[in-house]
Amino acid sequence: MSNPSRDALIARLPKAELHLHIEGSLEPELLFALAQRNGVSIPFASVEAVRAAYSFSNLQDFLDIYYQGMSVLQTEQDFYDLTWAYLERAATDTVRHVEIFFDPQGHTERGLAFETVLDGIERALRDGEVKLGISYRLIMCFLRHLSEDAAFATLDQAMPHIDRIHGVGLDSSEVGHPPSKFQKVFAKARELGLHVTAHAGEEGPPEYVHEALDLLQVERIDHGNRALEDAALVRRIADEGLTLTVCPLSNLRLCVIKDIGQSPVRKMLDLGLKATVNSDDPAYFGGYINDNFRAIADALDLSEAEIVKLAENSFTGSFLPMADQIQHLAEITEVAGG
């Protein structure tokens, strides 16, 4: 049930977003505008027709449309506009820090230069830091439906700019593409001093979460829903204090859960796991971060203390230095107490 004082707390709590694919923040209105600006034809007659097509029965269904949507992104300015629109929207949800995924292979495969993508996204992130007070980290994802050699080629392209990239991730079609496929390229990324995270246990089995931890040595688990099927794995995630970046509305729209009341956040909190709330691909899944918070707060009847805990987890699970995390936690205490 909706609760006005809880909604007001969500609206004003400082928070970090740790699981956000920047290409998944491409709203139909911007998709249309960019298609026109770049003379790219898209198979939709109107913004409403685009939204109507956003009905998915699984991850692959979504990915097919997601990669199609990306085709309108052509210039550095397009990537700037995409990222800036997300940051302005995030600011209205009192997001103070973002750790953004991008999918370079979704663009280089279409003939764009790696630099076009990186420069546009980063320019907006820097503006966001100055004008909106939102700090950032940038996480380059490898597409797991492609080969490990292709991931290595992407890492090679990133090498001249590696000081501008903070971490690597693993996304796209999960089942059939286990973390073990990318063991070597993740080892190389770790050698370079990059942070490492991976999508695991969204549709894939608990074994993929084990692999992400053992073979990729990830610092966080993106989604992690199916980790709950394995009691030993749950104990390990709790003992190691690993952060799970859960995406409630994404889970609902991709039929990972049947209704929002099945969001794993309740169970994770009860088990002492460090869950966080994130929007994943907000333009496609019907909500930004505060929409995700409100949806589970209502469905799981979260207490104000639990909502505060989720906001705290978003900073302690971030790649920010400890001193910055402590500052954000102090701001949360101030806002929650006031």
Residues at the binding site for Zn(2+) are: 19, 21, 199, 280
Assigned token pair, 170: 């693993």
280 binds Zn ion (CB under 5 A): yes
103 binds Zn ion (CB under 5 A): no
**Binding site partner of 24, from ligand HPA, Zn ion, none, Cβ cut-off 5-8 A by kind:** ligand HPA
User: Annotated binding site for substrate: which residue ranges?
Assistant: 281
Q: Which of 6, 13, 14, 24 binds ligand HPA (CB under 6 A)?
A: 24
CB-wise, 245 or 318, nearer to ligand HPA?
Answer: 245
Catalytic residue among 76, 99, 122, 202: 202
Tell me the H-state helices in 18-113.
Answer: 28-38, 47-52, 59-70, 76-92, 105-108
Site for ligand HPA in 168-197 (CB under 6 A): 171-172
What is the C-alpha separation between 133 and 58, in angstroms, rounded?
A: 36
Shortest distance in whole angstroms from residue 149 CB to Zn ion:
23
Tell me the H-state helices in 147-254.
Answer: 148-158, 183-191, 206-214, 231-239, 248-253
Residue 11 to residues 5, 44, 89, 288, 296, Cα–Cα distance (Å): 10, 34, 13, 12, 14
**Binding site partner of 59, from ligand HPA, Zn ion, none, Cβ cut-off 5-8 A by kind:** ligand HPA
What is the C-alpha separation between 235 and 141, in angstroms, rounded?
A: 28
CB-wise, 280 or 306, nearer to Zn ion?
Answer: 280
Site for ligand HPA in 50-109 (CB under 6 A): 59, 66
Shortest distance in whole angstroms from residue 194 CB to Zn ion:
18
CB-wise, 283 or 299, nearer to ligand HPA?
Answer: 283
Assigned token pair, 293: 């918070």
What is the C-alpha separation between 210 and 6, in angstroms, rounded?
A: 36
Shortest distance in whole angstroms from residue 144 CB to ligand HPA:
8
> Which range binds Zn ion by CB under 5 A, 147-155, 276-284, 312-320, 322-330?
276-284
Does residue 202 have an active-site annotation? yes
Q: Which residue is nearest to ligand HPA (CB)?
A: 171
For the chain, report the end-to-end CA distance as a whole number of angstroms: 24
CB atoms within 10 A of CB 61: 15
What is the C-alpha separation between 40 and 71, in angstroms, rounded?
A: 8
What is the C-alpha separation between 271 and 268, in angstroms, rounded?
A: 5
Catalytic residues: 202
Residues that bind Zn ion (CB under 5 A): 280
Q: Provide the binding-site residues for ligand HPA, judged by CB under 6 A.
A: 21, 24, 59, 66, 171-172, 199, 202, 250, 280-281
